[in-house]
Amino acid sequence: MTSPKLQTTVDVASMAERARSAGRSLARADRNALLLAMGRQLKAHQAEILAANAEDLASATGTVAAALLDRLMLNEKRLDAIITGLHQVAALPDPLGEVLEGRTLSNGLLLQKVRVPLGVIGVVYESRPNVTVDVAALCLKAGSAVLLRGSATALHSNRALIQAIRVALAEQGLDPDCVQLVDDPDRASVTALLGLRGKLDLIIPRGGSGLINHVVENSLVPVVETGIGNCHVYLDDSADPQMASDIVFNAKVQRPSVCNAAEKLLIHQAIAPALLPSICTRLAQAKVEIRGCERTRALYPTAKPAATSDWDMEYLDLIIGVRVVDSLEDAIGHINRHGSQHSEAIVTQNYAHAEKFLAEVDAAAVYVNASTRFTDGFEFGLGAEVGISTQKLHARGPMGLRDLTTTKYLVRGSGQIRQ
């Protein structure tokens, strides 16, 4: 019995073929000039982009959470920040052609391992229109064409952004099909992308657990999994009280709708009576809902009871789960059981405890005495990121330019044959 044909309004296979053809000239193009041209065109098309975003916001208001509306919103300041990001990516060293290894074999063959483009990358993502530009910029700088499939809530914004990018490609004498938008909002278009084995070289999902799981479980194309962020801050028994309060507050409140925001607070039993009530009060004053274990609620009675499911949950909202733990080992065990291998932090003045936490916590980024909010391509000096990988193959952590390349061996000889 044959599978039913996917009902999608776009021919993604044809799009991928055009992207393959268009992208072949990217490695030899002046890609830095292209990124600067993209910035100029975004500014030139600012009115259309913001008008399209206003249309998306109007449609989404009342149907999505406030935190998601914040992720969707563009304004002049945010658009300027996106353009600044393009300049920063343009200023980064070109990864293509970088020689990773080089040696002469005993038979005289000169062997080099160099970075080359992946080819055609598909990226499936939700809500945030800035991702459209960040991902396009990184893929283009890394010499790859890209198919972008954003969410229905950002459809008008993404159309306007992609149009400006395609104008820049044409201005630079490049085929605009290096960047294409899969603008069918139906999930069938995602499933169609996932079936393009041999036409796409990589799929990167960026969004909530539902989207990521769908891509990972159904893709015939290799996937880099950018996982959810169930991030923890652990306050050790020697934590400085003011530092602890500031880090927890920043990690939770500064921007709760992103994957590197703290979703859980763990606090050592020895300091919990003195420190936990004041931290929870400060969070509550910022309208954070506290969901606590029994010992947390004994110290802060207005906390809601935490359900078993809370410890595995990514809220992306002004909610935090709080648990009093018996020891450093208890905290590490909790994180390794319930964390999403994204970003984890310890606040401590004990060097040995800090080093143990760094060594034993299994995550893409592990912090001592700093907020989890720094796990970001821009903050790590990568210019931008295509996502934060929580898997262990190929790339882990914020994925920048080098993570969007592959390698090949160049072998130069003088007539050698194998005996």
Distance separating alpha carbons of residues 156 and 129, to the nearest angstrom: 10
User: What is the pLDDT of the chain when averaged over all its residues?
Assistant: 93
Rounded to the nearest 10 degrees, what angle do helices 187-194 and 12-23 cross at? 50
**DSSP code string of 236-274:** -TT--HHHHHHHHHHHHHS-TTSTTSEEEEEEETTTHHH
A 10 A CB-CB count for 280 gives 23
pLDDT at 226 over 70: yes
Residues of the chain with pLDDT > 90, as a percent, come to: 81
Average pLDDT on 134-142 reads: 95
pLDDT at 5 over 50: no
pLDDT for the residue numbered 114: 97
- Write the CB contacts of 90 (distance below 8 Å, at least 6 apart in sequence): 31, 32, 35, 36, 141
Contact by Cβ (8 Å): 168, 75: no
pLDDT in tens, 327-372: 999 999 999 999 999 999 999 999 999 999 999 999 999 999 999 9
Torsion angle of C-alpha atoms 34, 39, 401, 67, degrees rounded to 10: -150
pLDDT in tens, 73-130: 999 999 999 999 899 999 999 999 999 999 999 999 999 999 999 999 999 998 789 9
Domains of the chain with CATH codes: 12-227 (3.40.605.10), 231-374 (3.40.309.10)
pLDDT at 158 over 90: yes
Distance separating alpha carbons of residues 237 and 378, to the nearest angstrom: 32
pLDDT for the residue numbered 9: 66
Contact by Cβ (8 Å): 114, 410: yes
pLDDT for the residue numbered 121: 97
**DSSP character at residue 98:** -
pLDDT in tens, 233-254: 999 999 999 999 999 999 999 9
pLDDT in tens, 178-219: 999 999 888 899 999 999 999 999 999 988 778 888 999 999
Average pLDDT on 378-401 reads: 83
Pairwise pLDDT comparison (374 vs 64), residue with the higher score: 374
A 10 A CB-CB count for 343 gives 31
Widest pairwise Cα distance in the chain: 81
Output the CA–CA distances (angstroms, integers) from residue 166 to 37, 44, 75, 174, 191, in the order listed.
10, 13, 21, 9, 25
pLDDT in tens, 287-329: 999 999 999 999 999 999 999 999 999 998 999 999 999 999 9
What is the distance between the terminal CA atoms of the chain, rounded to a whole angstrom?
A: 51
Distance separating alpha carbons of residues 333 and 266, to the nearest angstrom: 11
